[in-house]
Amino acid sequence: MHVPFCSIIPPYMLRRLAQQDAPEFSSAASAARKALGHVESFQAARSQAVPALPPGLRPEKPGPVNRAVYDAGGDETLPGRPVREEGGPATGDAATDEAYDGLGNTHRLYADAFGRDSVDGRGLKLDATVHFGKLYDNAFWNGSQMVFGDGDGDVFERFTKSVSVIGHELAHGVTQYSAGLVYRNQAGALNESMSDVFGALVEQYVKNQTTAQASWLIGEGLFTSKVQGRALRSMKAPGTAYDDDVLGKDPQPDSMDSYVRTSADNGGVHINSGIPNRAFYLVAEALGGCAWEAPGRIWYETLTNGSLPPAATFTVFARATVRAAADLFGAESPEHDAVGAAWETVKVKV
């Protein structure tokens, strides 16, 4: 199993921004070109293999969170200078303190809702680096830690502002240490979708929101006021998160009827993730209450029970969620019915 470089900003968005020639977006275009080059260089070279947690192996009780935040100071050398260790006081630096809190809140969701001890299931220390690069337009998981840029200030704000972004990137670690879904084509879109699902659940858990109260937006608050958009993606209504003169229109499909066949972005991993994203939202909407409960348990069980092959397709994943719902709640349960109906709505055969 090889570890991909997983970033929150899709290459197609960076590419669109990089092509802007308007004077008011010159610095943003330059920042996007650099971030795009960074993404492409990492995607061309995979990291070394990382052992996965054997399916079914769980600690009796999750341990306490252990986290550290480092400051790259505008450089690109990781991890950087340590600025806040576990239990240390707030620093007053917004990025540092937001990263620290986001790491803790993500650990808390996995521990409380799923009995998981950190992203690897074995109490992995959660490290994050802030102030990476100069005007860096991205946040990413590199296989061992979180990294956050400060944004260009014209299009993107600092990437620690969104709890769903922090939860999203750490969820790539959970996938890495459990199912090990390859980062290409439908398996890659599922990899991205799992991160959106658990990123949204972290945000909802922190805010104690029900399905009806939640925004279901990924990356809300990342755009500056110059951008016509609410977030990077919408799980509730894929394709509606933004419609902007500079960034273009959100290209995500909401069902297989609009599935995007492309060789770009590792086979459309950020675009086609909208389809399983909407399926999860539909399950949560049908069941009501808090999405980290029944819907989250079904998706978490599917990801971690060892049933998914690394190259899982949407259909393989959908069938696995139906089986997980039956195992957890019964084949005649509302949960089982909701899962089947959701996949039918997004036109994925079960």
Task: Look up 344 and say whether it is catalytic.
Answer: no
Residue 324 in 3-state DSSP? helix
- Residues of the chain under the 70 pLDDT cut: 1-4, 42-60
The per-residue pLDDT for range 162-193, each reduced to its tens digit, is: 999 999 999 999 999 999 999 999 999 999 99
Nearest 10 degrees: CA dihedral of 15, 200, 241, 244?
-40
Axis-axis angle for helices 94-114, 294-304 (nearest 10): 90
Q: How many Å apart are CA 99 and CA 147, to the nearest integer?
A: 9
Q: What angle do CA 244, 250, 254 make, to 5 degrees?
A: 155
What is the pLDDT, as a whole number, of residue 41?
73
What is the pLDDT, as a whole number, of residue 1?
44
Q: How many Å apart are CA 115 and CA 121, to the nearest integer?
A: 9
> What is the DSSP code string of 37-87?
HHHHHHHHS---B-PPPPTT---SS-----EEEEE-TT---SS-EEEEETT
Identify the active-site residue in 270, 301, 335, 336.
270
The per-residue pLDDT for range 261-299, each reduced to its tens digit, is: 999 999 999 999 999 999 999 999 999 999 999 999 999
What is the pLDDT, as a whole number, of residue 141?
93
Nearest 10 degrees: CA dihedral of 283, 104, 61, 49?
80
Identify the active-site residue in 98, 157, 169, 192.
169
Element (H, E) at 185: helix 185-207
Strand partners for 81: 71
What is the pLDDT, as a whole number, of residue 51?
45
Task: Look up 168 and say whether it is catalytic.
Answer: no
Q: What is the CATH number of domain 6-177?
A: 3.10.170.10
Model-level pTM greater than 0.85? yes
Domains in the chain: boundaries = 6-177
